[in-house]
Amino acid sequence: MSVYSPRLNQLIEALRCLPGVGPKSAQRMAFHLLERERDGARRLSRVLAEALDGIGRCPTCRMFCEDGACRYCSVQRAESGQLCVVEGPADLVAIEHNTPYRGRYFVLMGRLSPIEGIGPDELGLPQLATLLDEGWVRELIIATNPTVEGEATAYYIAEMAKPRGIKVTRIAHGVPMGGELEYVDAGTLAHALSGRTAV
């Protein structure tokens, strides 16, 4: 039998859908909203409903956008001839905010994982193939994460691009700036050594 009232129990359970939020964190958030932030909670509820109704996905790059107008699919960006493939929206934002890259993007919304039932169709790879066939992509930059699934996804995408004569590059992974070799894990060090470049 729950120690919470039915509505409080529903609120706590609803908050648990957020990443990294367990039962205790959800309880703490629910109590905070009810005790001190009722106006904030109402605003959150309203803004969340508006976001869910008003934010969709770009039919071309799959990034979140409003009213079908995607800021990342402009003609100017296509003129660079570069298309960067990322796993998720947060990866796109990281590249956009921290690098000079201003080409186009394609957001997979995941990575290949047969165990989880995520295959090429779930990642929009047929859609990516259509983009590659348009003829404007001269360089495909693969920016998936350096995990087993990320590497498998990168390999699959590279194999899609090669028959089309598109240059394929992969973002570098390795020793971080300011890092000391003795503290870097073996996998990262091996990857950094095998991916070395001329100086």
122-139 pLDDT, tens digit each: 999 999 999 999 999 999
pLDDT of residue 180: 75
Please state the pTM of the whole predicted model.
0.84
Tokens representing residue 183 in the block: 């503290």
Positions in the chain whose pLDDT score sits under 50? none
State the CB neighbour count (10 A cutoff) for residue 132: 19
CA angle, residues 96, 84, 198, in degrees to nearest 5:
95
Torsion angle of C-alpha atoms 159, 125, 20, 176, degrees rounded to 10: 30
User: If residue 35 lies in a helix (H) or strand (E), which one and from where to where?
Assistant: helix 23-35
Question: Tokens 């009722």 sit at which residue?
Answer: 38
- Domains of the chain: residue spans and CATH: 6-56 (1.10.8.420), 73-177 (3.40.1360.10)
State the CB neighbour count (10 A cutoff) for residue 72: 19
pLDDT digits (tens, 9 = 90+) for 86-104: 999 999 999 999 899 999 9
Helix axes 125-133, 148-161, angle to 10 degrees: 30
